[in-house]
Structure 1
Amino acid sequence: MITVRWVWAFLDTVDDDAEASEAFWHRVTRTELSPPRGERGEFATLVPQLGDAWVKVQRVVEGGGVHLDLDVEQPLPEAAAEATRRGASEIVRQEDVIVMTSPGGFTFCLTSWTQAGSPINQVREDQPDLLDQICLDVPSELYDAEVDFWEQLTGWRRRTGALPEFTSLTRPDGIPVRLLFQKLGDRSGTVRGHVDFACHDRAASREAHVAAGATVVSEHDFWTVMHDPVGRIYCLTHRLP
């Protein structure tokens, strides 16, 4: 088990679409976009008015999607060794980040909580909605192993969802991003991910997101599936921020 002190949700977007994506996401999260950083100016942070940030954007050459950064208390080589022992694969190792994939192929990074500035405070009060969840979309034959991996790696207790195809991990107090797992109808493939918002009033949030440039894909009893302006899937869910 590793000690996760903070979780970052990363929105990865190909270069040609990045400007439109960043404009949308900083608007719907009611944040300011930090100055770019990195060798290509590929990284930026969505900075909230109050509290510490937990969402970042990254411009990529190809692919795109969502990934997680886990700020850990242990030295990064030690944390990576534990993740590998649990079934992860190491992709890239640098001094300040180790890029890995889960047993099902979902990308995550191990980073140092101390080097990240030791964030500790997410403000949830007075928010109409909040990007607070990463949902891993898992092919059915990979589902049990994927949930087992994340539960054992983090030490967070699993909880069965109201619907049988969902499982969540109970995040410790103060962790800004919740992990949810959805069992797909597809039997095989690679684990993907999308972000979810918790909404006080899902209809009002839907209207605000559409006004910002999103489109509604489908409506369900407890969630609304959306596309952002560059085609990224995400959901508005019926949960209190």
Structure 2
Amino acid sequence: MKWITGFLDTPSRVAEPFWEAITGAGLSPRRGPGGEFATLLPDDGDAYLRVQVVGDGPPRSHLDLHVEDVPAQARRVSALGATVVLDDGELVVLRSPAGLVFCLVPWHGEQVRPAGGRSLVDQMCLDLPHAVFDAEADFWSAVTGFERRPGSLPEFDFLVRPDGMPLRLLLQRVGGDEAGMHLDLACDDRPAEVARHVELGATVVRSEPRWTTLRDPAGRVYCITDRPVGRG
């Protein structure tokens, strides 16, 4: 994988101003037949967050994996257990063995991770039911080529990202039967960052010793963590 992009999929544009404010990014011109796609453009470095208006389902997140040869990587990833959902010739939409949707897209030379400020979106957490955790964690390690390691708490593993990669992949053991994804932010002052998000329209779901779970204005869950910006 040459680059990773996090996508915010939402039935409407209601949460886009919130994520612009949170990240300090500008919104690119819209793309797609209905103007459904746009990129959050950081002040420095290469873009790695995008928004998409989707017509159905709850607000959610997904990953785009940027590669040099999409057809070859689609064949490789399919051999690892993924299922092709859509192949439009330029990008391929797939589903992981646990049901997580992701895309393989062309790499266009992105390589500079934004530095961030008081906080930084720097992690995609894959929420995996206990029954499929190990198989799915090994799948994502094989897909990305990133080494899997145990986290600081027993419910977490993570994949070691290369220097400069904008998003780390965290793997979380969860109850239930359905896998999902959510974004995490690193920050140096969690209470102050949570207060900023609430002022901008977020709602606190719960607070843990090391992170706070919130919902954005569209109802999408994400977390603010105590990890220092630029590390992890």
Calculate the TM-score normalised by the size of structure 2: 0.96
Question: 1:180 is matched with which residue?
Answer: 170
- Residues 147-203 of structure 1: CA deviation (Å, up to 9, x unaligned): 0101111111111111111010000011101101111122xx231010000111111
Counterparts of 1:81 and 1:150 in 2: how far apart (Å)? 15
Counterparts of 2:18 and 2:197 in 1: how far apart (Å)? 9
Counterparts of 1:162 and 1:50 in 2: how far apart (Å)? 30
Q: AA paired with 1:176?
A: P
- Number of equivalent positions: 228
Question: 2:83 is matched with which residue?
Answer: 89
Counterparts of 2:80 and 2:184 in 1: how far apart (Å)? 27
Q: How does 1:14-53 map to 2 (within 5 A)?
A: 14-15=11-12, 18=13, 20-53=14-47
Question: 1:69 is matched with which residue?
Answer: 64
RMSD: 1.0
Asked if structure 2 preserves the Cα contact closer than 8 Å seen for 1:92 and 1:98, the reply is yes
Counterparts of 1:154 and 1:36 in 2: how far apart (Å)? 29
1:123 shift after superposition? 2.2
Which secondary structure does the structure 1 equivalent of 2:2 belong to?
A: strand
Q: AA paired with 2:219?
A: G
Structure 1 portions without partners, runs of 5+: none
Q: How does 1:1-241 map to 2 (within 5 A)?
A: 4-15=1-12, 18=13, 20-63=14-57, 64-73=59-68, 75-113=69-107, 117-124=108-115, 127-186=117-176, 189-241=177-229
Counterparts of 1:238 and 1:168 in 2: how far apart (Å)? 16
Which secondary structure does the structure 2 equivalent of 1:110 belong to?
A: strand
Calculate the TM-score normalised by the size of structure 1: 0.92
Counterparts of 1:118 and 1:163 in 2: how far apart (Å)? 35
Structure 2 portions without partners, runs of 5+: none
Counterparts of 2:152 and 2:113 in 1: how far apart (Å)? 26
Counterparts of 1:233 and 1:52 in 2: how far apart (Å)? 25
Counterparts of 1:123 and 1:31 in 2: how far apart (Å)? 11
Runs in 1 of length 4+ with deviation above 6 angstroms?
A: none
Counterparts of 1:200 and 1:45 in 2: how far apart (Å)? 26
Asked if structure 2 preserves the Cα contact closer than 8 Å seen for 1:5 and 1:71, the reply is yes
Counterparts of 1:29 and 1:204 in 2: how far apart (Å)? 15
Asked if structure 1 preserves the Cα contact closer than 8 Å seen for 2:44 and 2:115, the reply is no
Counterparts of 2:3 and 2:95 in 1: how far apart (Å)? 18
Asked if structure 2 preserves the Cα contact closer than 8 Å seen for 1:106 and 1:190, the reply is no
Q: Percent identity?
A: 45
